[in-house]
A and B are shown apart, each in its own frame.
Chain A
Amino acid sequence: MAQSVFAPWEDSQQKPLIEFVNVTKRFGDFTAIDNLSQKIFEREFFALLGPSGCGKTTMMRMLGGFETPTEGKILLAGQDIGNVPPNKRAVNMMFQSYALFPHLSVWENIAFGLKREGQPKDQIAARVDEMLRLTRLEKFARRKPHQISGGQRQRVALARSLAKAPKLLLLDEPLGALDKKLRHETQFELMDIQESTGTTFVIVTHDQEEAMTVASRVAVMDHGKIVQVSTPDVIYEAPNSVYVADFIGDVNLIEGNATKAESGVQITWGENTAPLVSTNSDQALAGKRVVLALRPEKVSISVERPDAPNVLRGKVIDIAYLGNLSTYHVQLETGTMVKAQIANTRRVSRRQITWEDSVWLSFSATAAVVLEGGI
C-alpha cells in the first residue's frame, strides 16, 4: 500500500503554522538574522542546521519568545507573536542544558508547567503519568535530576516540554550531550514521539547527520540567512550551492568551466585532462565558472580502466578504514585529491587496492551536481 507523502510545503493551499515574514534581528552592529522569510507547517519536523553563529539559535529563541525581532513579523497560526512573552505562547522549548529544576523531582519538573495553568490536581497527575509512560520514566518519578543519568535527564526535559501539549516544540541541540550510541537511539525515539503526539517540532542542531535522520525538512543556514530548505535527500543529492554541498556530508569539489554538451554540460578543468560530463545539469550553466560536486560514495575505484563517461587516473595516498566503509584518498595527476568511498564487502586482507597503487576512478554522467561559482 502506497503511503501518501507528507509534503505540505508543496501545497499552496496549506496554511503554515509558523511564518517568518522578512525577519531581521540585530544585536548592536551584528546582524544575527538577515531579512529572513520562511514557512513551517503543522506536524513538520523542521531542522535548522548550520555552523555556530549562523543564527539558528537566534531564530529558535525568537520562536520561544526570548528574543524579539528587530524588524519583520513572526506569525504563529496567523497571529503576530513578536511581542508575546514566553509564558503566554503555546510554544515550549527543550533547552540544550535541559534546564531541569534541580530542587524538584522528575514528577514535579514535568508537572511544573501544568500547575502554572491551574489545572485540577487529578488532571495534572494523569497528564504527568502519561508523559512518564511516553518517555519510559515511570520508575524515576520520585528522583531528583542529579540522581538520574544524562539520557534520562534528556527524556525528562522532553516530557516536561511536551506536557503542556504545545502547538510547537522547540528543541535546542537536544541530543548534544549524549554519547553517540544513545544519540542514535534517541533520534528514533524523538521521531516516534513527534509522530504519535502530532506536535510540530523545530530542532536546532549543528550535527547534519542528526538533522538528516529526524527532520522532514532541513534548513541550512549561513550568516543569518537560510541557504536552502528541502527534504534531507534533496539537500544531499541536489544541493543548490557549493556551501550546502560542502556543509552536508563529504564531497569532492572540482572547479572548471562549463560548456554546452549534447545533453547537459561538460566541464573542462586542469591541464591535459578529459572534460567531465554531467548530463543532468542545466545547460544555462554553459559559459560559466562552475564547481562539480561529487559525493565520495558515487565514485568507483578500480585497477583496470573502466568503461564509464567520467574516468580519472590517480594514485592512492591514504585509506581511511571505517569498518563498514573505506575511504580512498586518491591524488590525480593534476594534484587534485579525490575521495572515493567503497563498501567493504570483502575482508580487508583480501583488499585489491592498497597504498601507492595506480588506480582508475570513475563516475556516471548523472552522479555529480554542477553548481555555479567557485570553491
Chain B
Amino acid sequence: MRRLALIAFPYVWLLALFLIPFAIVFKISLSDAAIARPPYLPLLELSEGWDGFKAFLAELDFENYVFLTEDDLYWKAYLSSLKIAFFSTVITLGVGYPIAYGMARAPDEWRPTLLMLIILPFWTSFLIRVYAWKGILSNEGVLNQALLGLGVINEPLTILNTNTAVYIGIVYTYLPFMVLPIYSALEKLDDSLLEAAEDLGCSKIQAFWLVTFPLSRGGVLAGCFLVFIPVIGEFVIPSLLGGSGTLMIGKILFEEFFANRDWPVASAVAVILLLILIVPIVLFQLNQQKQQEAER
C-alpha cells in the first residue's frame, strides 16, 4: 500500500501537471479560431450528453497543422530554432568544459567557492540578467564604450538585436547547466587513472583524450541536453536581445497567442514543438539510465 502511494505520487503529478494540460492544448490545436471567450470553437458542453459529444468531435480537425505546412514561416522558425540551439550548445560546451575541468582540478578547499560562483547568478532573476546584457551590448553600451576607449574599434559594433546577441545571451544563461554535470563527472575521476595512463606511455594531452574525456562523456551529454532542449523553445532571450532577423519558434508561439490571439494555431505550433523535443528528451533519459547502470 505504501509502495503504491509512493509510486502514485509522481504519476499523479505527471498526469495533473503535464498530461491534462497537454490534452487541453492538443484539443485547442484541433479547434477553430473564433472571436469569443475563450477564442476558439467548439467547446465541450457536457449538458448535451452523448450526442453533444459526438457533434463536438465532428468539429475537430487538423486544418491548423495543414496551415503550418503551408506558411514557410513556421518550418523556417523550427529549423532556425534547432540551428540556434545546436550552435549554442556547441559554444556552451566549448566554454563550459574548460571551466568544469578547471574547477575539478582546483585545490579541494577552493571547490565549494567555485561551485558557489557558478550557482550565484541563479540568485537574481533571469530576466534582469538578460536585460543587463542589453546595457552591455547596445551601441552606447559598456562593451562598445570600453572598446572605443581602448582604441580597438573606431565605430561602435552592432551586436544588440542580432543573432550574435542571442548566442551571447543563451550561452551566458545556460552555462551553469553545462558546467555542473560535467564538473560532477570530472570530480569523481580518480587521479591515479591519469597517472596510469601516463605510466603506460600517454602524454598529458593523450591522457586527457583517452581517459578524462571519455570518462566525462556522461556529464557532457547530460549538459548538452540540458542546454539544447530548453533553448529550442527559448522565448525571452531572442525577444529581448534578438532583432527582427532572429527567427525562433518560441517567439512565434508567443506572437500567435498574444499578438494574433490565434490560440488554435499557437497550440498546433506548441504540439509540434513538443514532438520535436521528444527525440532529444528520450535520448537524454537513455543517457541518464546508462550512466546510472555504469555507476552501479
Chain A residues at the B interface, C-beta cutoff of 8 Å = 64-66, 85-87, 91-93, 95-97, 99-103, 112-113, 116-117, 146, 160-161, 164
How far is A189 from B202 in the complex, measured between Cα atoms in Å? 29
Of residues A113, A160, A164, which shows the largest number of chain B Cβ atoms within 10 Å of its Cβ?
Answer: A113
Q: Is the CB of A160 within 8 A of B200?
A: yes
Q: Is the CB of B196 within 8 A of A99?
A: yes
Chain B residues at the A interface, C-beta cutoff of 8 Å = 190, 192-193, 195-203, 206, 210-211, 214-215, 217, 294, 296
- Residues of the B chain whose Cβ atoms lie less than 8 Å from the Cβ of A97: 190, 192
Within the complex, what minimum Cβ distance (angstroms) separates A189 from chain B? 21
Nearest B residue to A93 by beta-carbon distance? Answer: B199
How far is A17 from B6 in the complex, measured between Cα atoms in Å? 66
How far is A161 from B197 in the complex, measured between Cα atoms in Å? 11
- Residues of the B chain whose Cβ atoms lie less than 8 Å from the Cβ of A64: 195, 199
- Residues of the B chain whose Cβ atoms lie less than 8 Å from the Cβ of A102: 215, 294
How far is A102 from B193 in the complex, measured between Cα atoms in Å? 9
Q: Is the CB of B203 within 8 A of A87?
A: yes
Task: Tell me which of B193, B200, B214 contacts A116 (CB under 8 A).
Answer: B200
Within the complex, what minimum Cβ distance (angstroms) separates A176 from chain B? 14
How far is A145 from B211 in the complex, measured between Cα atoms in Å? 14
How far is A95 from B201 in the complex, measured between Cα atoms in Å? 15
Q: A87-B199, A92-B200, A117-B201 are in contact. Are A103 and B215 (CB under 8 A)?
A: yes
Q: Is the CB of A101 within 8 A of B201?
A: no
- Residues of the A chain whose Cβ atoms lie less than 8 Å from the Cβ of B211: 101
Apart from A99-B196, A112-B200, A113-B200, what are 15 other A-B pairs with CB-CB below 8 Å? A85-B198, A87-B198, A91-B199, A92-B199, A93-B195, A95-B195, A97-B192, A99-B195, A101-B196, A102-B215, A103-B215, A103-B217, A116-B200, A116-B202, A146-B296
Please, could you name 11 A-B residue pairs with CB atoms under 8 Å apart, sorted by A?
A65-B199, A66-B195, A86-B195, A86-B199, A91-B199, A97-B192, A101-B196, A103-B215, A116-B202, A161-B200, A164-B200
Q: Is the CB of B195 within 8 A of A116?
A: no
- Residues of the B chain whose Cβ atoms lie less than 8 Å from the Cβ of A160: 200
How far is A198 from B213 in the complex, measured between Cα atoms in Å? 36
Q: A93-B196, A101-B193 are in contact. Are A87 and B202 (CB under 8 A)?
A: yes
Of residues A65, A85, A99, A101, which shows the largest number of chain B Cβ atoms within 10 Å of its Cβ?
Answer: A99
How far is A357 from B231 in the complex, measured between Cα atoms in Å? 86
Q: Is the CB of A86 within 8 A of B193?
A: no
Of residues A65, A87, A92, A95, which shows the largest number of chain B Cβ atoms within 10 Å of its Cβ?
Answer: A87
Within the complex, what minimum Cβ distance (angstroms) separates A30 from chain B? 18
- Residues of the B chain whose Cβ atoms lie less than 8 Å from the Cβ of A96: 192
How far is A164 from B197 in the complex, measured between Cα atoms in Å? 13
Of residues A64, A85, A91, A103, which shows the largest number of chain B Cβ atoms within 10 Å of its Cβ?
Answer: A103
- Residues of the A chain whose Cβ atoms lie less than 8 Å from the Cβ of B198: 65, 85-87
Q: Is the CB of B201 within 8 A of A103?
A: no
How far is A164 from B199 in the complex, measured between Cα atoms in Å? 11
**10 tightest CB-CB pairs across the interface, nearest first?**
A113-B200, A116-B201, A99-B196, A99-B192, A86-B198, A103-B214, A95-B192, A87-B201, A87-B198, A86-B199
- Residues of the A chain whose Cβ atoms lie less than 8 Å from the Cβ of B217: 103
Q: Is the CB of A99 within 8 A of B201?
A: no
How far is A92 from B190 in the complex, measured between Cα atoms in Å? 18
Within the complex, what minimum Cβ distance (angstroms) separates B78 from chain A? 36
- Residues of the B chain whose Cβ atoms lie less than 8 Å from the Cβ of A95: 192, 195-196
How far is A101 from B210 in the complex, measured between Cα atoms in Å? 10
Within the complex, what minimum Cβ distance (angstroms) separates A51 from chain B? 22
Of residues B198, B210, B296, which shows the largest number of chain A Cβ atoms within 10 Å of its Cβ?
Answer: B198
How far is A86 from B201 in the complex, measured between Cα atoms in Å? 7
- Residues of the A chain whose Cβ atoms lie less than 8 Å from the Cβ of B210: 112
Nearest A residue to B293 by beta-carbon distance? Answer: A146
Within the complex, what minimum Cβ distance (angstroms) separates B101 from chain A? 17
How far is A112 from B198 in the complex, measured between Cα atoms in Å? 11
- Residues of the B chain whose Cβ atoms lie less than 8 Å from the Cβ of A117: 201
Nearest B residue to A61 by beta-carbon distance? Answer: B195
- Residues of the A chain whose Cβ atoms lie less than 8 Å from the Cβ of B296: 146
Task: Tell me which of A66, A100, A113 contacts B201 (CB under 8 A).
Answer: A113
Within the complex, what minimum Cβ distance (angstroms) separates B189 from chain A? 10
Nearest A residue to B196 by beta-carbon distance? Answer: A99
- Residues of the A chain whose Cβ atoms lie less than 8 Å from the Cβ of B294: 102, 146
- Residues of the B chain whose Cβ atoms lie less than 8 Å from the Cβ of A116: 200-202, 206
How far is A223 from B58 in the complex, measured between Cα atoms in Å? 90
How far is A92 from B198 in the complex, measured between Cα atoms in Å? 10
- Residues of the B chain whose Cβ atoms lie less than 8 Å from the Cβ of A100: 196
Nearest B residue to A91 by beta-carbon distance? Answer: B199
Of residues B196, B198, B215, B296, which shows the largest number of chain A Cβ atoms within 10 Å of its Cβ?
Answer: B196
Within the complex, what minimum Cβ distance (angstroms) separates B204 from chain A? 8
Within the complex, what minimum Cβ distance (angstroms) separates A143 from chain B? 13
Within the complex, what minimum Cβ distance (angstroms) separates A372 from chain B? 42
- Residues of the A chain whose Cβ atoms lie less than 8 Å from the Cβ of B215: 101-103
Within the complex, what minimum Cβ distance (angstroms) separates A117 from chain B? 6
- Residues of the A chain whose Cβ atoms lie less than 8 Å from the Cβ of B206: 116
Within the complex, what minimum Cβ distance (angstroms) separates A157 from chain B? 9
Nearest B residue to A89 by beta-carbon distance? Answer: B199
How far is A85 from B198 in the complex, measured between Cα atoms in Å? 8
Task: Tell me which of A87, A99, A113, A146 contacts B193 (CB under 8 A).
Answer: A99
Within the complex, what minimum Cβ distance (angstroms) separates A99 from chain B? 4
How far is A96 from B200 in the complex, measured between Cα atoms in Å? 16
How far is A116 from B294 in the complex, measured between Cα atoms in Å? 26
Nearest A residue to B295 by beta-carbon distance? Answer: A146
Within the complex, what minimum Cβ distance (angstroms) separates B119 from chain A? 29
Nearest A residue to B218 by beta-carbon distance? Answer: A103
How far is A95 from B217 in the complex, measured between Cα atoms in Å? 24
Within the complex, what minimum Cβ distance (angstroms) separates A165 from chain B? 12
Nearest B residue to A96 by beta-carbon distance? Answer: B192
Nearest A residue to B296 by beta-carbon distance? Answer: A146
Nearest B residue to A116 by beta-carbon distance? Answer: B201
